[in-house]
Amino acid sequence: MSTPLVSVVIPTKNSIRFLKACLASVKEQSYKNVETIVVDGQSTDGTIELCNKMGAKVLQYDPKVKKGFFDAPFRRNYGVENAGGELVYYVDADMELTKNVIRDAVELCTESGSDAVIIPEDSFGIGVWAQAKNLERRCYWGDDSVEAPRFLKRSVWVQLGGLDTSLGGGGDDWDLYQKLRDHGYTVSRIKSLVMHNEGHLSLRKLMRKRFMYGRDSARYISKRPAAGVKSYFPIRMAYLRNWKLFARRPVDAAAFMVMRLAEYSAGFVGILYSVLKGNA
């Protein structure tokens, strides 16, 4: 297997409580030809010192978006623009890569002709809602309407123009996937997981985040109606396909139903807010 340079791009702002584990997971990859680029938004929590200590390159970039809007797509694009790798992989500061993620993704791109790779997400955290979120994420493994590739050939990223910065809350990821499909690129999956650290998850936090997602989802649905409705539709075949998983975890399943009802309610309010403000 050839060993091209992989640029891992991580947008941050005051995320030190998660970032150390994220950087460590990149450093401990079985595949070693990796550069780590942290695109920071003027953090004041020791992020810069941590990055310097752990050998990550730091780029300062503040896109000056309106309060409450997602700035991650801007930072991801900026990081890739300044990356040196033939392959790029953008992750969040609260994600931790299992040991062979990059190796497996590189192998698909160099040996199997893949242009982009989907890396399935699992999660962990504290509390009942974190367990419910774990149950939800496991339902989405193999679901094209939810999972999206974050590992790409840099040449393909450039060809597609990167992420649409007007979309957030998952819309930027899904839109990139649709662009890959539109242009006939090959997208594959690996089995190695990336772990999402939910921390101490509260229902209030989930609803606040879903409100923001809902506000941005109106723009994605407007841009890609068919894909948008499929991605945000509350009743999913993935839940029915995984009924045995729900049956084995009845307490988490009950929390899941409450959580999803709350999230979709908050998301719907976010969509209405966006439409009324003329931001859709």
DSSP lists the bridge partners of residue 153 as: 87
pLDDT score, position 54: 93
pLDDT score, position 68: 60
pLDDT digit string (tens) for the chain, length 280 residues: 689 999 999 999 999 999 999 999 999 999 999 999 999 988 898 899 999 999 999 999 988 777 667 788 999 999 999 999 999 999 999 999 999 999 999 999 999 999 999 999 999 999 999 999 999 999 999 988 889 999 999 999 999 999 998 887 778 999 999 999 999 999 999 999 999 999 999 999 999 988 888 887 778 888 888 877 777 777 788 999 999 999 999 999 999 999 999 999 998 898 888 778 766 5
Fold of the CATH domain 6-200:
Spore Coat Polysaccharide Biosynthesis Protein SpsA; Chain A (3.90.550)
Where does residue 79 rank: exposed (0-12), middle (13-18), buried (19+ CB within 10 A)?
Answer: buried
- Residue boundaries of the structural domains of the chain: 6-200
Q: How far apart are CA 159 and CA 169, in angstroms?
A: 23
What the block records as the tokens of 237 is 């075949």
Compute φ and ψ for 20, nearest 5 degrees: -60, -45
> What are the distances in angstroms from CA 79 to CA 92, 117, 156, 195, 209?
13, 19, 15, 22, 24
pLDDT score, position 279: 62
What the block records as the tokens of 192 is 């190695």
pLDDT score, position 257: 96
